[in-house]
Amino acid sequence: MDINTKEEIFDHISKNLSSIQFKTLRENEIEATDDEKLTTMKQTLENDPALFLTKWGKFLPKNELEKFECLRGDYEVNWHLNKLLSTQNKNTISSSIASEPPIISKQLLPSSRHNKQILNRRYKYLTTMLDNTSYFGDEAIEMREPSLYEDYVGQYIPEEERYKQFDDDVDLIDRVYYDIDQSYIHDRLQEEKRILEEQEEEEEEEEEEENEIEKKVKGDGMADNEDVPQISEEEKQQLRADLVDIMRNKFMSGDDPDFDYDAVDFNEEYDDVNVQEQEIQGTYI
């Protein structure tokens, strides 16, 4: 990506900063200044376009996303770009045929009073029942979002560390459950790989790009030791924190298909008068 293209993207970000969610704020965390946000976003765009797309790509219009097309040789950019463009296309089609708003449950309408109440309740449940629990543990995240987990955490773990031998005290049932989970994750990764490859065939990408995908995503979903990218422990911790931020946002947006949102959204037990609705609204919508 040339300098002019990056400047065009950053110019759009600067002009629309107020409508872009920079990050999920934790309890008592002070929001970054506009200058701090812009500095971080610019550095991310320069050094890691894939991470930039992951964190802020959903706030870019189609014409800005298309400026990343020149980076499709990178597997992560390719994956996120396909997903973002596909989501935008679906939203465009849905908007063109929708005659009236749907009933609100998991999906939210930003302008509704009811929506604010739901967000407050989800936030209360998130901070009191889910934060610092196994819901955001490696195993749970990998089960819900195998590709995201692989991108942010899994690819940096050596195989002998990631797939350790069972301890002697692990019984047969636990071993069977573990194998079932691994089979599920493997199938999900394979399916997402298949979809990605089909998209690349339709776009008639060059053979060099296909080879890059084979290096990034192995057929069995596991990385060879020699292919494990080498990054610092600090970078690993930051990527893990970024992944948790993404998963917290996905929960707030109603994107966990296995979670019973109605049990929270319509439950007065999770009302919190101390939660500022405007703050939650600005953070998660």
Does 15 lie in the same domain as 58?
yes
Residue 135 located in a structural domain? yes
Least confident range from 21-35, 94-108, 160-174: namely: 94-108
Does 134 lie in the same domain as 75?
no
Provide the terminal-to-terminal Cα distance of the chain, rounded to the nearest Å.
30
> Which of 36, 60, 92 delimits the end of a domain?
92
Does 135 lie in the same domain as 236?
yes
Does 11 lie in the same domain as 66?
yes
Does 130 lie in the same domain as 79?
no
Q: Which domain holds residue 134?
A: 112-167+231-278
Does 119 lie in the same domain as 71?
no
Residue 178 located in a structural domain? no
Residue 183 located in a structural domain? no
Q: Rounded mean pLDDT of 10-37? A: 85
| Higher local confidence (pLDDT), 3 or 280 | 3
pLDDT at residue 93 is higher than 50: no
Does 146 lie in the same domain as 87?
no
Structural domains of the chain, count:
2
Does 120 lie in the same domain as 12?
no
Token readout for 151 is: 């991108």
Does 133 lie in the same domain as 51?
no
| Higher local confidence (pLDDT), 192 or 5 | 5
Give the pLDDT score at 27.
Answer: 66
Confidence of residue 84 (pLDDT cuts 50, 70, 90): confident
pLDDT digits 0-9 by tens, 217-250 = 444 444 444 567 788 888 999 999 999 999 999 8
